[in-house]
Amino acid sequence: MPTYAINKKARFDYEILETFEAGLVLTGSEVKAIRSKQIKLTGSFVTIHDGAAYLLNTHISKYKYATIKDYEPERSRKILLNKKQIAYLTGKIQEKGLTILPLSVYTKGRKIKVEIGIGHGKKQFDKKRILKERQESRDMHRALKGDY
């Protein structure tokens, strides 16, 4: 199961409460571009319109051998979820402070899947605390290893 893109910024900025696996509606050249790792999830999010989920602000570069003339790399792409999941996500979006974010893009068999998560935004002091803990852990490992 190769992973083509991971949204590290989403896991840092948001506390992920729940995750879902969903399919993506893509063109053939977009699939080829994703398989060559030409996708960026930074700044992308999921919205729900007319009973369907859409992935917005995801940048998929144009495949260099594609013959499409006017390709839009950041177009909105439909996410394949069942009605029960869409109804659940619609309810979660209406709660204050919750957003739906793409976490990673990977393959499952021949299909390209996206892992989406319901996230609650972290406060600035939480982010600083996490960075401080990481640095302290790094320093401790260096001291134990004798590289200091």
Give the model's pLDDT for residue 23.
94
**105/34 Cα distance (integer angstroms):** 9
Mean pLDDT value of segment 13-42: 91
27 is written with which tokens? Answer: 């063109």
Question: What's the number of domains the chain is made of?
Answer: 1
Pairing of strands 77-80, 111-121: unpaired
Mean pLDDT value of segment 55-81: 88
pTM, 2 dp = 0.80
Structural domain that includes position 69: 3-122
Mean pLDDT value of segment 86-100: 89
Give the model's pLDDT for residue 118.
93
Mean pLDDT value of segment 6-35: 90
How far lies 95's CA from each of 65, 89, 98, in Å?
Answer: 44, 10, 6
Q: Is residue 148 part of a domain?
A: no
How far lies 99's CA from each of 19, 45, 77, 89, in Å?
Answer: 12, 8, 17, 9
CB 117 within 8 A of CB 93: no
CB 45 within 8 A of CB 57: yes
pLDDT at 94 over 70: yes
**120/94 Cα distance (integer angstroms):** 13
Q: Is residue 91 part of a domain?
A: yes
- pLDDT class for 129, splitting at 50, 70, 90? confident
Q: Is residue 134 part of a domain?
A: no
Q: Is residue 146 part of a domain?
A: no
pLDDT at 148 over 80: no
- pLDDT class for 135, splitting at 50, 70, 90? very high
- pLDDT class for 13, splitting at 50, 70, 90? confident
Q: Please name which of 39, 12, 22 lies closest in space to residue 130, comparing C-alpha atoms.
A: 12
Q: Is residue 53 part of a domain?
A: yes
Q: Is residue 94 part of a domain?
A: yes
Domain of 101: which CATH number? 2.40.280.10
